[in-house]
A and B are shown apart, each in its own frame.
Chain A
Amino acid sequence: MMPKKIKTKPYTATRNACKMCTPLGAALVFHGIEGTIPLLHGSQGCSTYMRRYLISHFREPVDIASSNFSEDTAIFGGGDNLRLAIENVARQYTPEMIGIATTCLSETIGDDVPMILDGMDKKVDPTILVHVSTPSYTGTHVDGFHGAVHAVVERCNPVTEKTTDALKTRKKINVFPGMLSNEDIRHLKEIFTDFSDVRTPIDTQSPDAIKNGIDSYAMGNNTEFTILPDYSERLEGPSWEDYQAIQKGGTPVREIKAMNRATASMEFGSILASTVDQGEKSAGSLLKERFDIPLASLGIPVGVKATDLFFERLEELTATPIPEKYKKQRGRLIDAYVDGNKYVSRQRAVVYGEEDFVVAIAGFLAEVGIIPVLCASGGKSGFLQKALEEILPKNILEQVTVHPGMDFTRMEQTAGALEPDFVIGNSKGYTLSRHLNIPLVRVGFPIHDRIGGPRILHIGYKGAQELFDTIVNTLLQRRQDTSKTGYAYM
């Protein structure tokens, strides 16, 4: 079957957008760095709106300061406001870092933020100031996210930093996972810790072993890792025993500063990799360029194929075999794929969200036999089609309509004719699913009409398992709900 050519009239106005603005992504990144306060250089409304949006997904405190532009500031420039804001944030919170992201307001008037910041570093020392340019009229929240990760790594790893090979004897990996859920980040940490603990069997009969009384296993391989950003604790913490000005958790700044001494970097996102190929900078590419640290770029590991690739690269980078636990997880997953195949095979899904996320989810759906009939995103990097071509088998790809730069209204118009069985993506697709009268499987960000959005696991074998079970059960529920008899055996 050839992809249906669906004509939607090109619209000028965006109706029900499938993207958020650039500074939001940056603000989220800064929440993933220990002791960091984000500060938006613009109107106070930007901070308020983005706080509210992040809070309604995470159900956690999210503090974002603002340089509170007034009409005068908009006319005469925001330098004084920004300097005052930095000083006040530093006094109230004594943060390790202040992450400054611009808004469309400060970008439009052309504030020269690096110049404004000149000298402020010393004034608020030891607080580190990081600046990322995030005009909301360019790109989406994902661009703000990657931009902030890059800015932090760049600021903390100046080119003058000398590295010696001696420091590189220990295995150390930088991980830039992109915009994942808290549970995803926790799972990544678990995987890396497990890899670090793998003990390599040694020859117990060797003279050394006999002499030193070593049993059958050596110590773990001690691979160290730094995940940036890591908001999994700060944005999902327990109740406070003591008042916390800035919630605990996040990637420690000293670890970010040591990224230039790593043995490798790993960066998720095939779209991100494509933009890097085109000359854009990412955190991983910067470290490669400045410090010659090898960069492993791969898609977000959702589904068995992408996760296999992830573990393969991990085995290479750590020279350590995959721990038994993950082999078992994979085994169970494939077994479930077989068991559930009858429910999902040839089902049709609408997938939307951030471009990289869409690619990853579409790849997973295809491998279990679901056709991602519409792959849509508000982003328009120009690489969505190519990335999907790379990940989807030809027979599936032929049935897929790809739409970058799409809003939910056009998505709805397009989706109807594709006869989808369900929708998969964030809460904003609820209206679409309601109008099409098909279920919505909630994944990604933002999820603010269900509890536990940050606890959804997408990555790894375990993530694929959870996604698979959820999708199958959603489809079964649907069958029950629409059945006249109401079978309890399905």
Chain B
Amino acid sequence: MSDTIKDTKTIKPGGVDTLDPEKIKKELLSRYPAKVARKRSNQIMVNKKDDTGKTPVMGANVRTVPGIITQRGCSYAGCKGVILGPTRDIVNITHGPIGCGFYSWLTRRNQTRTASDADDNYMPYCFSTDMQDEDIVFGGEKKLKAAVQEAYDIFKPKAISIFSTCPVGLIGDDVHAVASEMKEKLGINVFGFSCEGYKGVSQSAGHHIANNGIFKNVVGKDDSIKEADYKINLLGEYNIGGDGFEIDRILDDCGISVVSTYSGNSTYDQFANSHTADLNTVMCHRSINYVADMMEIKYGIPWIKINFIGGNSTAKSLRKIAEYFGEEALIQRVEAVIEAEMPEVERVRLAVKKRCEGKVAMIFVGGSRAHHYQDLFNEIGMRTISAGYEFAHRDDYEGRRVIPDIKIDADSRNIEELKIEKDDDKYRARKTDAEIAALKAKGFEFKDYKGMSIDMENDALLIDDISQYETEQLLKLYKPDLYCAGIKEKYAIQKSGIPMKQLHSYDSGGPYAGFKGAVNFYKEIDRLVNSKVWDYLEAPWQTNPELSAKYGWE
């Protein structure tokens, strides 16, 4: 450890304010070769908010340097695992050697619930063409066709999708040609994704490829209008740990109807019909904001950013949806739901706050969660002193106002941008210009996201794509009371004696969204940061060496 931060050695939890984040940044970069250090220094930023709401420029969505152990996944993982993984009635075939299919087989904790036992659910299955040497040499299209045919013969699904792994692009297998041939032949929707693992910077590229594919191949296929009031889509909600179920419960109580969720607990038919909703609400800005934009241009559905993580955030989001529809009956019903739900949230929150107040957390996950979960910590008096995303872009840190300034590099150019135009038949303005203007005049914000940095303290350390090495350095220097990340970091953190909560899979817990979710989360954090299990770390003879050297009668 360098001399500059020797004083940090004795830092105890809660004492972080004496640390100079600039020095910490220097320390984190000290082991890297000059070129790598330069690159990483753009991705490690000490937060500074100016009066206009500007925050530091983050070097986000840039490729990880080889040899730096990243927590990021690949394009395939984002496409097959994250976006299409939670959709239960599409048969997802991985075209490639066995590993990719195997590792993405039911490993995310997104839950699904069929309406009846007779409904299709292919999530427990892992389909793979299991490519062998000969397929690499002679091409795998024939095998892929046979696999699609087989899936159709056995399951007769509504749709089949094909996911390309690394070798597929290289050997020149045309999954799209196979898909359209089989679509023609079988009379069901078959579509492919060119989501080879080497494409793009992270799984975010895969989200984009997946969402584009769904938008192109599925959305708009069913024009029937659902008989319901206040129809919305929930975009960027993946039903990890049943979050989506809790949100659905609350929305249902409010009389708000969800046409389609992208893509937690989703079905093919919901996607196909989703263009009939009257409002798009965006949870995870990173993975799906472009879908909201495309749906607005093509079908005329306005979108708003919402957040159901946190009791107050949930209430705020519900009020925002009600305000959009603007009908008194809905506004009153939403208020009634909030009034009924909040007392229990408050009771637990206040009890837990007594034991958690002043503790500090760090969050390194996702494209949105590192931001959203800070609301929950705030509610129980905990500060988030360092945070960062694994695969987000600049706008997720700095807000959408920087979108025009984002440089397009080789990696983002490789991801198809769909050219979207207004669909003259299906476009329907949901509000008149005057109505929109009136809402805006009241301060109602459409398609806006101000990013994470602005909501964090000055001097908080923002780290994009934090590496395993930096994670371990950070723990050593700050000794936070709680660290939130994923399973790859989990055990190194716990071995350092620091409580850890997984915010990708929720450690198989949850739900943490909505009102009941907030209560679950408060209790969970209370358990983690106040656990007695850490007291056993040192055996008595370690702290009192004389004990082991003496006999009892001495």
Q: A-side interface residues toward B, CB under 8 Å?
A: 11-17, 19-24, 39, 42-53, 55-56, 59-74, 81-82, 84-89, 91-93, 103-105, 108-109, 135-138, 140, 237-240, 243-245, 378, 409, 431
Q: Least Cβ distance of B433 to chain A in Å?
A: 43
Q: Does B121 contact A (CB under 8 A)?
A: no
> A15-B125, A48-B73, A137-B136 are known contacts. Are A59 and B166 too (CB-CB below 8 A)?
no
Judge whether B96 and A104 touch: CB under 8 Å: yes
Q: Least Cβ distance of B61 to chain A in Å?
A: 13
Q: How far is the CA of A89 from the CA of B467 in the complex (A)?
A: 12
Judge whether A12 and B150 touch: CB under 8 Å: yes
Judge whether A72 and B67 touch: CB under 8 Å: no
Q: Least Cβ distance of A313 to chain B in Å?
A: 35
Q: Provide 20 A-B residue pairs closer than 8 Å at the C-beta atoms, listed in order of the A residue.
A: A12-B146, A43-B198, A45-B73, A48-B488, A49-B77, A49-B104, A55-B490, A59-B491, A68-B66, A88-B32, A88-B65, A88-B67, A91-B33, A104-B97, A105-B166, A105-B197, A135-B97, A135-B133, A137-B136, A238-B495
Q: Least Cβ distance of B208 to chain A in Å?
A: 14
Q: How far is the CA of A39 from the CA of B68 in the complex (A)?
A: 10
In the complex, how many residue pairs between chain A and chain B have their CB atoms under 8 Å apart?
231
CB contacts (< 8 Å) of B125 on chain A: these are 15-16, 409
Judge whether A74 and B198 touch: CB under 8 Å: yes
Q: How many residues of B contact A (CB 8 A)?
A: 78
| A239 partner, pick from B65, B196, B494, beta carbons under 8 A | B494
CB contacts (< 8 Å) of B273 on chain A: these are none
Q: Least Cβ distance of A95 to chain B in Å?
A: 11
> A19-B98, A45-B73, A103-B166 are known contacts. Are A69 and B68 too (CB-CB below 8 A)?
no
> A12-B129, A45-B75, A105-B197 are known contacts. Are A240 and B496 too (CB-CB below 8 A)?
yes
Q: Does B70 contact A (CB under 8 A)?
A: yes
Judge whether A12 and B198 touch: CB under 8 Å: no
Closest to A21 in B: B99
Judge whether B171 and A108 touch: CB under 8 Å: yes
CB contacts (< 8 Å) of A70 on chain B: these are 63, 198, 410-411
Closest to A11 in B: B150
Judge whether B488 and A23 touch: CB under 8 Å: no
Q: Does B404 contact A (CB under 8 A)?
A: no
Q: Least Cβ distance of B460 to chain A in Å?
A: 23
Judge whether B97 and A73 touch: CB under 8 Å: no
Judge whether B99 and A49 touch: CB under 8 Å: yes
Judge whether B468 and A63 touch: CB under 8 Å: yes
> A13-B150, A48-B77, A136-B97 are known contacts. Are A68 and B65 too (CB-CB below 8 A)?
yes
Q: Does B463 contact A (CB under 8 A)?
A: no
Q: Does B204 contact A (CB under 8 A)?
A: no
| B72 partner, pick from A44, A109, A140, A244, beta carbons under 8 A | A44
Q: Does B180 contact A (CB under 8 A)?
A: no
Judge whether A14 and B129 touch: CB under 8 Å: yes
> A15-B126, A17-B98 are known contacts. Are A61 and B495 too (CB-CB below 8 A)?
yes
Report which residue of B130, B151, B496 has the largest number of chain A beta carbons within 10 angstroms of its beta carbon.
Answer: B130
Q: Least Cβ distance of A232 to chain B in Å?
A: 16
Q: Least Cβ distance of A189 to chain B in Å?
A: 22
Q: Does B549 contact A (CB under 8 A)?
A: no
CB contacts (< 8 Å) of B146 on chain A: these are 12-13
The 6 closest A-B pairs by CB, nearest first: A45-B74, A21-B99, A88-B67, A85-B67, A43-B197, A85-B66
Q: How far is the CA of A202 from the CA of B417 in the complex (A)?
A: 84
| B167 partner, pick from A50, A137, A378, A409, beta carbons under 8 A | A137
> A72-B410, A73-B198, A103-B166 are known contacts. Are A14 and B130 too (CB-CB below 8 A)?
yes
CB contacts (< 8 Å) of B468 on chain A: these are 63
Judge whether A42 and B166 touch: CB under 8 Å: yes
> A14-B128, A50-B103, A71-B198 are known contacts. Are A104 and B166 too (CB-CB below 8 A)?
yes
Give residues 177-208 of B contacting A (CB, 8 Å). 196-199, 202-203
Q: Does B255 contact A (CB under 8 A)?
A: no
> A52-B488, A60-B491, A88-B33 are known contacts. Are A136 and B98 too (CB-CB below 8 A)?
yes
> A60-B491, A66-B70 are known contacts. Are A92 and B97 too (CB-CB below 8 A)?
no
Q: Does B426 contact A (CB under 8 A)?
A: no
Judge whether A46 and B197 touch: CB under 8 Å: yes
CB contacts (< 8 Å) of A24 on chain B: these are 99
Q: Least Cβ distance of A59 to chain B in Å?
A: 6
> A72-B410, A87-B33, A105-B166 are known contacts. Are A44 and B103 too (CB-CB below 8 A)?
no
Judge whether B97 and A137 touch: CB under 8 Å: yes
Judge whether B169 and A74 touch: CB under 8 Å: yes
Q: Does B105 contact A (CB under 8 A)?
A: yes
Q: Least Cβ distance of A47 to chain B in Å?
A: 7
Q: How far is the CA of A192 from the CA of B496 in the complex (A)?
A: 33
Judge whether B69 and A13 touch: CB under 8 Å: no
| B103 partner, pick from A53, A64, A104, A409, beta carbons under 8 A | A53
Judge whether A74 and B170 touch: CB under 8 Å: yes
CB contacts (< 8 Å) of B171 on chain A: these are 108
Judge whether B132 and A137 touch: CB under 8 Å: yes
Q: How far is the CA of A45 from the CA of B77 in the complex (A)?
A: 7
Judge whether B132 and A44 touch: CB under 8 Å: no
Give residues 116-149 of B contacting A (CB, 8 Å). 124-133, 135-136, 143, 146-147
Q: Least Cβ distance of A405 to chain B in Å?
A: 9
> A49-B73, A71-B411, A91-B33 are known contacts. Are A245 and B488 too (CB-CB below 8 A)?
no
> A68-B65, A88-B66 are known contacts. Are A48 and B71 too (CB-CB below 8 A)?
yes
